[in-house]
Amino acid sequence: MAELSDQLVTFAILAYLVAMISHAVEYALGNTRAVPAAPARELVGAGVGAVGGVVKAPAAPVAAATPPGRSARQARLAGLAAVGLTVLAAALHLGALVTRGIAAERMPWGNMYEYVLTVTWIGTAAWLAVLVKRPSLRRLGLFLTLVMVLLLAFAELKLYVEVVPLMPALQSYWFIIHVSTIVVASGIFLLGVVPAVAFLMRNGYEQGRRSFPYTLARRLPAAAGLERLTFALHAFSFPLFTFAVIAGAIWAEAAWGRAWGWDPKETWAFISWVVYAGYLHARATPSVKRNVATWIAVLGFLTMLMNLFGVNFFFTGLHSYAGVE
């Protein structure tokens, strides 16, 4: 079972890679028609949020006027193929998780390798769910698959460990509650970074910047929609993350006798929580520009990464389950 799981991971990485190439082809062929016209009943203007740094209407209608030529059809085909490949990759990825869990006879969240494997799968699954609701965002898949390939390859090369049973400290139902919610919250925060970065690029582009990273955003969906998706994803996972941290504290009380001990991992969870709270505040404050708020969200994700990789590699603490020497 364990070998099967390893093979499935490899295949999943390949599938993500091909999906990424497919997205890139779509991007290069550049069917601008796929850029959604901002829905007429755009509501952003109604609330407090109107003052943010978002630029009004995208230039989509103009582009739509060009007749869809052959390359446009091909681009669309490439895009659809990319989505199909992403679905395939997600299925392989899930298979890898399930077989790993069967091999270990427990939930596959016992060490950093398994953790990264699960978080990335959640990210992909959430992405596909978003795609069902908002097909027009398809082009973001390029960034998503890129992130998946990078993270999974890193996990495979640097974090891989053999299947082992759980430490006594991890044998608790709080393990399942705490880790599952952390994993889901992290997966959605991970997905949230994709529209956040896309927004930052696209927003710069819409404001007339034509230097390097901004030009990449030429064929991205409109900034306002990306920004709203960023917020929706973060608003969804922030309470989940909060719950996970609280569950962790309850568990820590049972295992170590204190709910909160400022262990490095706890400290970084606190930092991430405060930064994401800062993001939600910044977004609710009219005088803070939307791109500044979005930067805070990206910063929040960097603190999550720091907690995952930095703390496990550089510091020693009670949470030393990474299984990496």
Return residues touching other proteins (CB under 8 A): 41, 43-50, 164-165, 167-169, 171-172, 174, 228, 231, 235, 238-239, 242-243, 246, 249-251, 253-259, 261-264, 267-268, 270-271, 274-275, 277-278, 280-282, 284-285, 287-288, 303, 311, 315-317
Q: Are 50 and 199 in contact (CB under 8 A)?
A: no
Q: Are 78 and 23 in contact (CB under 8 A)?
A: yes
For the chain, the straight-line distance linking the first and the last C-alpha, in angstroms and rounded, comes to: 24
Residue 288 CA, distance from chain mean position: 24
Which residue has tokens 């910047």? 209
CB of 13 to ligand HEM, least distance (A): 36
| Whole-number Cα distances in Å, 212 to 55, 141, 206 | 20, 20, 14
Tokens standing for residue 8: 């499935």
Contacts with ligand HEM in 259-278 (CB under 6 A)?
277
Closer of 98 and 235 to other proteins (Cβ): 235
287 binds, among ligand HEM, other proteins, none (CB under 5 to 8 A by kind): other proteins
Q: Are 140 and 123 in contact (CB under 8 A)?
A: no
Closer of 13 and 252 to other proteins (Cβ): 252
CB of 277 to ligand HEM, least distance (A): 4
Closer of 22 and 237 to other proteins (Cβ): 237
CA pair distance 193, 138, nearest whole angstrom: 15
132 binds, among ligand HEM, other proteins, none (CB under 5 to 8 A by kind): none
CA pair distance 288, 73, nearest whole angstrom: 41
Count the site residues for ligand HEM by CB under 6 A: 4
281 binds ligand HEM (CB under 6 A): yes
CB of 317 to other proteins, least distance (A): 7
CB of 183 to ligand HEM, least distance (A): 21
Closer of 117 and 282 to other proteins (Cβ): 282
Q: Report, in this order, helix, strand and coil percent for the chain, each rounded to 5.
A: 75, 0, 25
| Near ligand HEM by CB under 6 A: residue from 51, 57, 246, 284 | 284
Phi, psi of 264 (to 5 degrees): -50, -40
CA pair distance 254, 108, nearest whole angstrom: 22
259 binds, among other proteins, ligand HEM, none (CB under 5 to 8 A by kind): other proteins
Which residue type, as a one-letter code, is found at position 26?
E
Closer of 91 and 280 to ligand HEM (Cβ): 280
Contacts with ligand HEM in 82-141 (CB under 6 A)?
none
Name the residue among 43, 81, 84, 34 with its Cα closest to residue 218: 34
Residues at the site binding ligand HEM, with contacts judged by CB under 6 A:
277, 280-281, 284
